[in-house]
Amino acid sequence: MELSVVMPCLNEAETVATCVQKTVRFLEENGIDGEVVIADNGSTDGSQQLAREAGARVVPVADKGYGNALMGGIRAARGKYVAMGDCDDSYDFATLGPFLEDLRDGADLVMGNRFKGGIAPGAMPALHRYLGNPVLSFVGRLFFGSKIGDFHCGLRAFNKESILRLGLQTGGMEFASEMVVKATLAKYDIRERPTTLSPDGRSRPPHLNTWRDGWRHLRFLMLYSPRWLFFIPGLIFMTLGLVAGIALSFGPVRIGEVAFDVDTLVGAGAALVIGFQAVLFALLTKVYAMHEGFLPPDSRVKKLVEWWSLERGLVLGGLLALAGLAGLVASLMHWRVNSFGELDPRHSLRMVVPAAVALMMSFQAIFASLFVSILGIRRRQHPPMVDAADEAANVVDAAAEKVAVERQAAGRTAEAAAEKAETRTEG
């Protein structure tokens, strides 16, 4: 079978039969060997029977959620290629022809683009059309280098084997983003086709929740991009903290009528520590995700981890600790010079704050080095332990079996020779 059209369904009695009929007609008119699969997520309004009567195959999916329903339908699909779309009559499944042409041409994923094809009045809320979808699609392009203009278009088609190879995990609406992100990271051949969006034919509100599902999409995009979640913000914090800290360590800094002094120095030290920790988190997250297969291998991170051994991390942490201790000793000497009495914080903090920052960063570097080393431990399957007595018994049994087989073969040979001799005698 060439094409399976999968539609997730949860109480879509008003529109499911219409969608199935249009799709079946499209398959027949174009001579496509295909099917319509309704991935039912627990409908209670008779959607299942209506879909069957219209010509669809209904696959029940117990786990709730848009992503779970789609994955259940995709796994049950019999076609080499799979197209997916909502069965609310907002997408025209008769326009799947160009999608199928791209798949036949070798594309792994073909996305619809509603902004290029046209959005009918009332088909998409203004908040989704002008803020939600454009912003989330921009974030996806920025974070992952994707060229897709409509990350969340529900009408798309793909090579079933290619998509199953991605190991998609999310069960909710963020499934739409996960498919595009993972396909982009896997360097799949992804193409885009204009598609239209019409007002759905339901009288009830849609299952989509604007703020909850929008946040789930954004959260997924951030969690799958340690660079933007940790590294870049951390680098900014580190740079600001380091520049401000160095400048303020030698005295107050004035910009116009505003004076920055030791209070700002404390904030700069905090920014430096936070930034350093965020950069380390980016590295640890990337290493873990690569080991577990969530993210594809990154040659730069691999080289960095190979260079940054446990020993180098301990040396770096030790040097930072020595610098911090030296600063604390200097502050104690300054206190001693003042007979261990009250100190002017404008002078004492310029020694204490850099020393404390160096000590904190030293322990962060040491702990991060230890954790990276732990992540690098490979799990190995050792051969099972074999009892010597059992092994000897097995050898004896094998030898006895071999002798028995040889005796049976010798007996059959003797019988055959006797029958041959008897035949000659009779002749």
365-418 confidence digits (pLDDT tens): 999 888 888 877 765 445 555 555 565 566 666 766 776 777 776 667 666 666
CA distance 47 to 27: 22
Question: Is 113's pLDDT higher than 90?
Answer: yes
32-81 confidence digits (pLDDT tens): 999 999 999 999 999 999 999 999 999 999 999 999 999 999 999 999 99
Q: What is the mean pLDDT of residues 259-269?
A: 91
49-62 confidence digits (pLDDT tens): 999 999 999 999 99
Q: What are the b/e assignments for 356-372, b being 16+ CB within 10 Å?
A: bbbbbbbebbbebbebb
Given strand 34-40, what is the order of strands in its sheet? 57-60, 34-40, 3-9, 81-84, 156-159, 109-113, 190-194
Q: With contact defined as beta carbons under 8 Å apart, do 10 and 67 qualify? A: no
CA distance 427 to 421: 10
What is the CATH number assigned to the segment(s) 3-223? Answer: 3.90.550.10
Q: What are the residues whose beta carbons fall under 8 Å from the beta carbon of 269, sequence distance 6 or more?
A: 241, 245, 353, 354, 356, 357
Q: With contact defined as beta carbons under 8 Å apart, do 151 and 114 qualify? A: no
Q: Which sequence spans correspond to the domains of the chain?
A: 3-223, 226-375, 385-427
